[in-house]
Chain A
Amino acid sequence: GENVEQHPSTLSVQEGDSAVIKCTYSDSASNYFPWYKQELGKRPQLIIDIRSNVGEKKDQRIAVTLNKTAKHFSLHITETQPEDSAVYFCAASLRDSWGKLQFGAGTQVVVTP
């Protein structure tokens, strides 16, 4: 089955700096890669996703890049703000998987003022 590795497990950044989280996946047939943000005590919130026919996607301060050859994808957050502090999960799934998402272990991001 699919296996997703996520790094780093914790990330501390100064407000205004950029943050990058990287994930690798094992199944080359995976074609959908969402990112979720989960604040303490709250639900996972979908913040951006990318499909395998696209190499990069951007939404304001958030961007995701996908390298299918290397089987890795990354989340980039620019101009970080304290409200970006949360746990971020990457995930991968196959088209014919009945929606089964394989999550990475998560990255705790702390943005210090």
Chain B
Amino acid sequence: DTEVTQTPKHLVMGMTNKKSLKCEQHMGHRAMYWYKQKAKKPPELMFVYSYEKLSINESVPSRFSPECPNSSLLNLHLHALQPEDSALYLCASSPQGMGNQPQHFGDGTRLSIL
């Protein structure tokens, strides 16, 4: 069973649309992450939230806007995306936002930009 839940599983949107990806975990973890993964490539870190505060933004374009309403929820708001943004978007969580703790991934949202 996946303990990190992501919705939706699939999303197709036009370049002018606004949509949001959602992630939820109930493991009591205090760090949550957004990754982008292209086919046959490793996950690329986008954002890290630790104790509901943004700790890392890996120079992600502003058309991606993260939000952490509480310690269990993580959103990624999308606006005016480009075709090259089509990818698998993975959420992960870890007990704390430290570099020596295991991260557990959700099943991801497969995003296609028309």
Residues of A at under 8 Å CB distance from B?
A: 31-32, 34, 36, 42-46, 49, 51, 87, 89, 91, 93-101, 103-106
Q: Which residues of B22-49 have CB atoms within 8 Å of chain A's CB atoms?
A: 31, 33, 40-43, 45, 48
For B74-99 the 0/1 string (1 means CB < 8 A from A) is 00000000000000001000101111
A97 is contacted by which of B2, B40, B90, B99 (Cβ under 8 Å)? B99
**Other-chain contact of A46, B31, B103, B107, B108 (Cβ < 8 Å):** B103
Chain A residues, CB < 8 A from B100? 31-32, 51, 93, 95
Binding site for A on B (CB under 8 A): 2, 31, 33, 40-43, 45, 48, 50, 55-56, 90, 94, 96-108
- A99, B107: Cβ atoms under 8 Å? no
Count how many pairs of residues, one from A and one from B, have CB atoms less than 8 Å apart in the complex.
Answer: 75
Quick check: A100 and B56 within 8 Å, CB to CB?
A: yes
Q: What CA separation (Å) do A89 and B90 show in the bound complex?
A: 15
Chain B residues, Cβ within 8 Å of A96: 98-99
* Residues A43 and B97 in contact, CB atoms below 8 Å apart: no
Q: Which of B2, B41, B45, B99 contacts A94 (CB 8 A)?
A: B99
State the CA gap A28–B43 with chains docked (Å): 22
CB neighbours (8 Å) of B50 from chain A are 98-99
Q: A87 vs B107: C-alpha distance in the bound complex, in angstroms?
A: 15
